[in-house]
Each structure stands twice: as C-alpha cells, then as structure tokens.
Chains A and B, each alone.
Chain A
Amino acid sequence: MIAALLVMIVLALLLGLVLGYSALRFKVEGDPLVDKIDAILPQTQCGQCGYPGCKPYATAIASGEADINQCPPGGEPGMRALADLLGVEPKPLNAEHGEPKPKSTAVIDENLCIGCTLCIQACPVDAILGAAKHMHTVIASECTGCELCVAPCPVDCISMVPIPEKVSNWKWRYPVIELKQVA
C-alpha cells in the first residue's frame, strides 16, 4: 500500500518536472494561429477590414473579435480558406467593408505631383519613392494596390490603374462550351 502510494507520488513528481521543464523549454512565442491566419490574408495592408493592417486583423480573428468576411482583397477564396482553417461555416463577404476589385497599382501623375511626401507616409509597404519637394513615383512591383495613398494626396494626382492582361500574366480560361442558337 505505502509502496504503491510512494511509486505514484514519485511518478507524479517526475512527470510534473518533465512537463514543467518542457513548458519552459518548448515555449511557443506568439500565437501560431495568428500567423496561420496572417499567411492566408493577402497582405495588401489596406485596412478595409477596420484594422490597421493584415496582422492586426489576423489577431482580431484569432481572438474572436472580428469575422472572417471582412477582407475584400482576399475575396471569396480568401474567406473560404479562413473558414477552412478555423473550421467555421463560410459566409458571404460583408459589403460594409467594400467590394472585391480587380488588382490594381497606384500611378502618380508626375506632372501634377508637388512633392509633399504625404503618400510616402501613407504607403504601408514603402512602395513610393521620392523626397520633399521632389517628384514621387510608385515602385509598381511592390505596390499592393491598397489605395491608402489616394486619399492623402492634396492635388489628387494618384490614380488606381487595374493591372492589364499581358502575355506574361495571361491565364487559361475555365473551359466553357459555347451555346449556339440553332433555330
């Protein structure tokens, strides 16, 4: 009886030590769920979801604060991926946060730009190049199309131009069978 108790106590102590040690040794920094959600989000950093960027939105989703249908750039597929990851029912995108649009890049009309640097401060990914009282320009390959630079411009010289379809980014279409009127 005593021996059995002792064995159990020693075992409990040992396992407790192991668990305690591994809790310290293998401590997970940050919330892995937030990173997983963040990996699905399109990283436009546009703030249309109501949060100041994709990571804050991911944190809000993880904590149950925000819904999965607030990201228009991610669109329907993004929402589905989030639903899949979180094991919740997919739901249509919330129109309050905007409609999905074709992917665009910002273009600065360099004749009108006065070099105020407001757009540079607004750009979440440092994709605008320029200096005070010097012309600014958008690095097209880095632009996420978030539109955050459009509003601050005092002379309205920034426009969003949809990315045109070229041979380099052309995609095969979903096969459709043409319907022909025969009678």
Chain B
Amino acid sequence: MISTLFKFHGGVHPPEHKLESAATPIVEVPLPQRLVLPLRQHVGNVPKLQVAVGDHVLKGQLLAIADGMISASVHAPTSGTIVSIDEQLIPHASGLPDLCITLQADGEDRWVEHRALEYRDLPKAAVLEALRAGGVVGLGGATFPSHVKLREDAQHPVRTLILNGAECEPYITCDDRLMRERADQIVRGIEIMQYLLGAERCVVGIEDNKPEAAQAMRDACRLSSIPIEVATVPTLYPGGGAKQLIKVLTGLEVPSGKLPTEIGVQCFNVATAYTVHRFIHHGEPVISRVVTVTGKVARPGNFEVPLGMSIAELVQAAGGAAPESTGFVMGGPMMGFNLPSAEVPVVKATNCIIASAPDLFPPLPPAMPCIRCARCADACPVNLQPQELYWFAKSSNLEKARDYHLFDCIECGCCSYVCPSRIPLVQYYRYAKSEILAADKAKQAADLARERNEFRLARIEREKQERAAKHAQKAAGAKADVAGDEAKKAAIAAAMARAQAQKAEVVPQNTADLPPAVQEEIAGIDARREAVNEEKQEN
C-alpha cells in the first residue's frame, strides 16, 4: 500500500453525477450497418490510406497506416465493404468535416487473421512498432500515440509507471466500469507497459468515489507477477489530470514545459493498458471502446461501442434521448464540447456522451466584468494567474500571455467554474493558445520563405557571374584563336572537297533499265544542269 499522498494546488468539487451510469455492467451494442471512421482520431500526423472504395475488408484489417513517428493506424471495426472515402463531419470542436472512411457492414463480423505477440521474445523496438501499427493511443481523452510514450529513454529512465484510473470528470464512468469488470486484463496490460519501460514501481491511482473499482483492481494486482500498488486518491477535480495525479501519488511536480519522463514518471490511462493487453495478447487492434452514455437518456450506462458508430445510434442503444434533450456533449461537462451533429461517429477519444438539456447545463448568463477576486487563482490546479491570463487574452496581448505560462494551462475549467462573474475564461485561453500556435506556424513559414528568397537571389547572382565569366572567356578565346581559325577553315574546305568528289563518283542506280530514249533525255537534262551550275560558279 502507498503510504503518503500529496496534494495539488486548487481544484473544485463539481456535482459528480456518476451514479446514474455506474450501476449497470458494460453492454455490447448491436453492430451498426454503417460505420464512419475519421482518419484523424489521434494527436499527430494523419495516417495514410491503405484501402480504396469498393474494397471488402475484414474485422481488424488495416485501413490507414500510421505516417511518421507521432501517428496511429486505423482499423476496420467489423467486416464489410468500403462505400466511400470523403469528408464528413467529425466529433471536433470546430464542427468542420474531415476525411473519413465509410464502411458498410456485411453482418458477418469476420476477423482478419490475427495472433498474440510474444512480446518478451521480441526486441522492444519491434513491440513498439507493432503497437504503432495496432492504433494504440491514450484513451483518457488526449489520444496521444502510446508507442511514443512507451519508448525507453536512456537519458530519462522511467522509475514510476502511473496508471490513471482517477476519472475525475463528472458524469464519466467508463474507466470505473472497465476496472470493475476487466481488472485482470488491465493488469496484463500494465505488466506489458512495465516491461517496455523498465519501471521499478507501478501505481494505479483511483479516486475514492470508486471503491468497487479500487477493490477489483487490488484483487487483480495481487495475482500479478509484478508488484503493482493501488492507491485511492481523494476525489477532487481535476485529480485525473496527468500532472495532478503524478503530484498526488509521488509528490513530484512536472516542471513547466517538460514531460513527466524528465522526472522519471510516465502516466497512462487504465483503458489504454486494457487496449495494450488486447493487442499484445490477442492481436486485436483498437476497434472499439467503452463509452459512457448519460444525461437525458432513458437508460444511462456504459457501452462497448465499435469505433465509427454514429452517436445517434449509440444513444438509441441507451434507450434514446429524452424529448427535452437539446444536443450532445462529448467528454465531460468541464472539458467536453458540444457535438456539431448527432450523426458524427464515435472515435478513440469518445469517452462519454451526455445528452444535454437546458436544466442540466443552463446557458451561461452574460459575463460580468472581472472583479479581480482571484478565486480562479485559488482554484487553478497548475498555479497560474488566470485573471492575468484573462486580461492578456482578452486584449490579444499574446506574447504576454505566453510569458505568464499560458501553455501550462490544462483547460480543466476550474477557473470558469468558480468565477463569480461567469466569465468563460477557458474559451479565452483556447483562443489565445490557438492564435499563438498559428502565429508560430506563420513565423516558421516566413523564415522558410526568407531562406528560399535569399537562396534564389544568391542563385541569380551566381548565374549572372557565371554567364559573365563565360562571355569573357569566349571573347578572350576569339582573339587568341585567329591562327586556329585558318586551320579550321582549311579543314572544312578539305572536307567539302571530299564530299564533292564522293558525290561525283555516285552513279544513279535506277536509270540502267530505262529505254534508250529516256536515258538520252536524262543525259540531256544532266548536261544542261551542269552548264547552268558552271555558269553560276563563274558568276
């Protein structure tokens, strides 16, 4: 058992609303007819397409392969035919369409050939490569490709592996149910992760509002071949943030702009450990996930959903949305966003769908002016000065916002939650962050353009000089070669004389068989031509 726990700064206690969906076991939803699989389901490069319209694919078959280091593959969640590859709405805060593969299920649900990986017999790099091809990404919500985080780094060895089962965000219970029902499989995944990272210590952090999950995990960990601790941490939002959980469990703070590995810690979601196990021990890539459906639905609960199923169908599986429901939120109430449509598909990042209604999430009253009460600073789990950041973001003073460590903000929403003036602070920070990132990109593009322009000018200058040098050389050569010219002319004259002589020797072959009269005529013509030529030469 873990002896000491630490505290992170700030945090809030929003109403939990977990009981509605946590009571019932995970239900496997019936296979939908049509699946829409966005290529962009993770952080990093868009994977490369491996199929074309009309192809028949099997369950688990590769549809798009990871492109580059930070990327993840996409697989077919069931067998069927690719009916289209086009832009469709995806679950993204922008509400913009992106490239998606549409798969028409054939109902057979036939698996592609797949097998377990003897990971201990393989070099670690090969296992990581397999995870990259298996589409394994962090399922806590950030969807960062896991194979990158599982790399052993000689400079920063990972001493502590933390498994995040805190699930601090209200309404969401998918990790809770997963830990209660599939604890042994999660532990198998942790064993693989521990082996890959060479971590000395493994800790599972679970908030104390999930005693059943903690007990299940404790029982499963006892049977494990490696020592895994299970720690119950106090329920406090956002205790499930990676940096916050690391602080609570180890007392170590991840420095600003650094990765947890630099203090010897790596953190994964428990659902990620589960998918690692499914992939390594069963060869199953990430083609489904557990999603909490709650809010204004008839039967809130958790569902094992194939990726690509539309939200509307998923909500139907939960008994349908109540008539007063006005839309759907993906993620929790603190960090989630409104879906642009109910037709968007479930993706790897979809941990929770909340059917919202005005009485559940009342619209924000108009923001009042900031009164500098600094309650946001008290609540901020990363020790920022949200009120200052707000001023800078509001006035688009982006450099200053960056100086005040805007990029350490985890957008948890604690500041907006406690603000007595109801200022949508996080929206300001998101605006400022994306403006800064766009400006940085523009700066890079400008630097490249400058470099290209300078190179072009240098090239033009160089070509000019080369041409000038060539001309100078030619001019100098012309003067020096007068004597040489005479020799050349003589050679040309000799060659022409030889050609003349050859021409004279040639006798036309096709006149031999002609009648004498015609031959005479030809001879006459030749004679006249000779005479004319001679006349010409004399002239």
A contacts, CB < 8 Å to B: 38, 41-45, 53-55, 124-127, 142, 144, 165-175, 177
With A42-B442, A175-B424 known as contacts, the answer to whether A166 contacts B452 (CB < 8 A) is no
| CB neighbours of A165 from chain B (8 A) | 94, 96
Shortest C-beta distance, A32 to chain B (Å), equals 16
User: Is the beta-carbon distance between A170 and B96 smaller than 8 angstroms?
Assistant: yes
Q: Count CB-based A-B contacts (< 8 Å).
A: 69
User: Is the beta-carbon distance between A144 and B431 smaller than 8 angstroms?
Assistant: no
| CB neighbours of A124 from chain B (8 A) | 453, 456
With A166-B96, A167-B92, A170-B94 known as contacts, the answer to whether A125 contacts B456 (CB < 8 A) is yes
With A172-B427, A174-B431, A175-B431 known as contacts, the answer to whether A167 contacts B98 (CB < 8 A) is yes
Tell me the bound Cα distance from A168 to B538 in angstroms: 83
Tell me the bound Cα distance from A126 to B445 in angstroms: 14
B contacts, CB < 8 Å to A: 40, 90, 92-94, 96, 98, 366-367, 396, 424, 427-428, 430-431, 433-435, 438, 442, 445-450, 452-456
- Interchain Cβ contacts under 8 Å between A and B, 28 examples: A38-B450, A41-B446, A42-B442, A43-B445, A43-B453, A44-B449, A45-B449, A45-B453, A54-B450, A55-B453, A124-B453, A125-B456, A126-B456, A127-B452, A142-B452, A144-B445, A144-B449, A165-B94, A166-B96, A167-B94, A167-B98, A168-B40, A169-B438, A170-B96, A170-B434, A171-B438, A172-B427, A174-B396
Interface of B is mostly: helix
Tell me the bound Cα distance from A1 to B94 in angstroms: 83
| CB neighbours of B447 from chain A (8 A) | 43
| CB neighbours of A175 from chain B (8 A) | 424, 427-428, 431
User: Is the beta-carbon distance between A125 and B449 smaller than 8 angstroms?
Assistant: yes
Tell me the bound Cα distance from A54 to B453 in angstroms: 10
Shortest C-beta distance, B214 to chain A (Å), equals 37
| CB neighbours of A177 from chain B (8 A) | 366-367
User: Is the beta-carbon distance between B98 and A166 smaller than 8 angstroms?
Assistant: yes
With A124-B456, A175-B424 known as contacts, the answer to whether A167 contacts B40 (CB < 8 A) is yes
| CB neighbours of A142 from chain B (8 A) | 448-449, 452
| Known pairs A142-B448, A166-B98, A175-B431 / 12 extra A-B pairs, C-beta < 8 Å | A43-B450, A43-B453, A44-B449, A55-B454, A125-B452, A126-B452, A166-B96, A167-B96, A172-B93, A172-B430, A174-B396, A177-B366
| CB neighbours of B430 from chain A (8 A) | 172
Shortest C-beta distance, B304 to chain A (Å), equals 27
| CB neighbours of B446 from chain A (8 A) | 41-43
Shortest C-beta distance, A171 to chain B (Å), equals 4
Tell me the bound Cα distance from A173 to B90 in angstroms: 19
| Residue on B nearest A126 in the bound complex, by CB | B456
| CB neighbours of A170 from chain B (8 A) | 92, 94, 96, 434
| CB neighbours of B445 from chain A (8 A) | 43, 144
| CB neighbours of A125 from chain B (8 A) | 449, 452-453, 456
| CB neighbours of B93 from chain A (8 A) | 172
Tell me the bound Cα distance from A165 to B450 in angstroms: 25
